[in-house]
Copies of this chain bind each other. A is one copy, B any other.
Amino acid sequence: MSKGKRRQKKHRETPRTEPGSSPGSLVLDPSAPPPVVTLIAYSDNTIEEKTITDPAQLPGYLNKTWPVVWVNVDGLGSIETISAIGETFKIHSLALEDVITSHQRSKLEMYGDNYFLISHMMELGEEDLITEQVSIFIGRGFVVTFQDGPLDCFERVRERIRKHLGKIRTVGSDYLAYALLDSVIDCYYPVLETYGERLEILEDEIIEKCNRATIRKVHNIKRELLVMRRAIWPLRDAISNLMRDSSDLFTPDTMIFMRDCHDHAVQICDFIETFRELGSDLMDVYLSSASNKLGESMRLLTIITTICAPPTVVAGIYGMNFNTERSPFNMPELNWFYGYPFALALMTVLVIWVVVLLRSQGWLGNNSHAHTGRPGN
């Protein structure tokens, strides 16, 4: 069951575009849920929040009465709705195509004066990492966001707008865009924290009592870190470009906050790299540790075999049934007065000799060791 689920998810990881199809043509993922469009329009002292059922209502909010209008589209299952919103906010068809094609690369693009940004939310589900593509379209006076999955980390931003927390209500759409992007980036921290804890537990596990499940866990973390890296790395560059481009959509004041946002993205990249290196180190530690255990098993096996071999051969020889009566050469030892004590003594001497030999050679007896174990160089 778990496997089936994972495979299904992966199927969608590379975006399906029919080779050679017309660019900007909107082909929906048939399993996408119907869109829920919510609008929050606010000024310093008023706020209106409602669910939009007919996109035709939207243009009414774009006149000058509302300094900032935020339209959030949750679920991408209706071409009509998305096209209507696209037309209302003059979103380029290529941008709309990116919006509905999941597993896009994070990026920032300018279409005229407006910015189009693709990013990804992350959350650790019960088994796997859950990702959701968030497309943010930023224009003067409005922000449109599209989400293609069940995650939502925008709720606290809504709270800040509703409760007039901080300065969000007093500034423009650029600050709202920053706040949303910051929310997206901040949701990477809990995931990373969990991975950090897991790696630490695995670190103990890998030395004490490692089995194939442990190896798989390390591998899974490394694989999911790859997914995260593919999401955050280009986002970092996108924000960096945004800071350098400096259109007049973003005020210098918001830019200071954007710098903070960029700083977080860089930090997340750092953590991902560190964790991936830690994961690789753990694999090395496992290999070394397994090699050590194998060597110890081998040593024990060799010692036991080496010690038991001589008495076994001796006992085997004196267990032969040669007829002592036919010839004085046929195992006369069997008739000796001290034959048995002699045989036991012989075995004991052999065992002691082997043990002394093994011990003198560092418990494991090899001739080259005595000469090469302490290399001159």
Contact = CB atoms under 8 A, between A and B. Distances in A.
A344 B341 CA distance: 21
Interface string A146-173: 0000000111110110000110100000
A32 interface: no
Interface residues of A, number: 149
A81 to B, nearest CB: 22
B285 A287 contact: no
A334 interface: yes
Residue from A105, A182, A283, A320 having most chain B Cβ neighbours under 10 A = A320
Contacts of A179: 20, 23
Contacts of A372: 211-213
24 contacts: A13-B193, A14-B192, A18-B156, A19-B153, A19-B189, A20-B183, A104-B267, A105-B266, A111-B256, A212-B293, A213-B375, A213-B376, A215-B289, A217-B377, A226-B274, A230-B270, A230-B274, A296-B369, A301-B305, A312-B312, A322-B334, A322-B339, A329-B338, A330-B337
Contacts of A111: 256
Interface of A: 2-3, 6-7, 10-11, 13-25, 92, 94, 98, 104-105, 107, 109, 111, 127, 153-157, 159-160, 165-166, 168, 179, 182-183, 186-187, 189-190, 192-193, 196-197, 200, 203-204, 207-208, 210-213, 215-217, 219-220, 222-223, 226, 230, 234, 256-257, 259-260, 263, 266-267, 270-271, 274, 277-278, 280-302, 304-306, 308-313, 315-324, 326-327, 329-331, 333-341, 343-344, 347, 364-366, 368-369, 372-373, 375-377
A215 B285 CA distance: 7
A360 to B, nearest CB: 14
Contacts of A207: 212, 215-216
B300 A301 contact: no
Nearest to A257: B23
A365 B297 CA distance: 8
Given A15-B189, A211-B372, A213-B375, A287 B291 contact: yes
* Identical chains bound together, number: 5
Residue from A104, A302, A333 having most chain B Cβ neighbours under 10 A = A302
Given A25-B166, A296-B369, A364-B296, A377 B213 contact: yes
Contacts of A226: 274, 277-278
Contacts of A204: 3
A322 B318 contact: yes
Contacts of A336: 326-327, 330
A210 B6 CA distance: 21
A203 B306 CA distance: 31
Given A216-B375, A323-B334, A326-B339, 12 more contacts: A17-B189, A18-B186, A20-B157, A20-B186, A23-B182, A109-B259, A210-B292, A213-B376, A226-B278, A300-B365, A301-B306, A326-B335
